[in-house]
């Protein structure tokens, strides 16, 4: 099975987004009274009462800048939740345990940033389905998105990919 590495939004990127998001706006502050929100900074669910920011993020943009790829119309910008204050990020490399409770849309991208295909996967099948997608040499990386609202959740690369090209 293809070895994979899960990538949250890197901490330095989240720091910059907390000031100005990828749509050029100031993030929206929210007190998450109920918890259960998937956080893209540390890939866990929020706890009740945590302070979050809702901001726009372009999951391909920094990867494209680092690699010279031109995703063109695939350079989407969409809403994500992150901690309001800096957190410890995501230290694991497998599928985040707290984010396996929901199905995900897995989007496979080519090396030029185009969408090759999408596969719907149950939360418990994410690792196997992602490894299967990445066993295709045409697939450069995979993005996991929410099924219900479509938001970017995390990226999955081959374990041999260098962190500098992480989306
Ligand atoms: Zn966090």
pLDDT digits (tens, 9 = 90+) for 99-141: 999 999 999 999 999 999 999 999 999 999 999 999 999 999 9
- Interacting residues of 92 by C-beta distance below 8 A, sequence separation 6+: 6, 43
Residue 121 — φ and ψ, nearest 5°? -130, 140
CA distance 135 to 46: 33
If you measure from the C-alpha of residue 161 to the centroid of ligand 1, how many angstroms do you get, rounded to a whole number? 23
CA distance 55 to 78: 8
If you measure from the C-alpha of residue 82 to the centroid of ligand 1, how many angstroms do you get, rounded to a whole number? 6
Domain ranges of the chain: 4-162
Q: Please count the other Cβ atoms lying within 10 Å of the Cβ belonging to residue 15.
A: 12
If you measure from the C-alpha of residue 94 to the centroid of ligand 1, how many angstroms do you get, rounded to a whole number? 17
Proportion of the chain in helix, strand, coil states, percent, rounded to 5: 20, 30, 45
If you measure from the C-alpha of residue 2 to the centroid of ligand 1, how many angstroms do you get, rounded to a whole number? 28
Q: 4-7 and 78-83: which strand pairing? A: unpaired
CA distance 22 to 60: 11
If you measure from the C-alpha of residue 99 to the centroid of ligand 1, how many angstroms do you get, rounded to a whole number? 13
If you measure from the C-alpha of residue 10 to the centroid of ligand 1, how many angstroms do you get, rounded to a whole number? 11
pLDDT digits (tens, 9 = 90+) for 11-62: 999 999 999 999 999 999 999 999 999 999 999 999 999 999 999 999 999 9
């Amino acid at each position: 099975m293809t070895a994979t590495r899960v990538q949250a939004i890197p901490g330095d990127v989240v720091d910059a987004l907390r000031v100005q998001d990828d749509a050029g706006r100031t993030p929206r502050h929210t007190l998450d009274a109920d918890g259960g929100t998937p956080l893209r900074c540390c890939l866990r669910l929020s706890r009740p009462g945590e302070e979050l920011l809702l901001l726009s993020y372009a999951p391909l943009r920094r990867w494209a800048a680092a690699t010279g790829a031109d995703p063109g119309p695939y350079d989407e910008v969409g809403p994500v939740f992150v901690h309001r204050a800096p957190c410890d990020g995501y230290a694991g490399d497998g599928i985040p345990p707290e984010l396996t409770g929901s199905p995900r849309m897995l989007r496979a991208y080519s090396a030029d940033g185009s969408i090759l295909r999408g596969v719907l996967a149950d939360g418990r099948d994410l690792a196997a389905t992602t490894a299967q997608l990445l066993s295709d040499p045409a697939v450069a990386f995979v993005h996991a998105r929410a099924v219900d609202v479509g938001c970017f959740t995390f990226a999955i690369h081959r374990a041999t990919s260098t962190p500098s090209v992480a989306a």
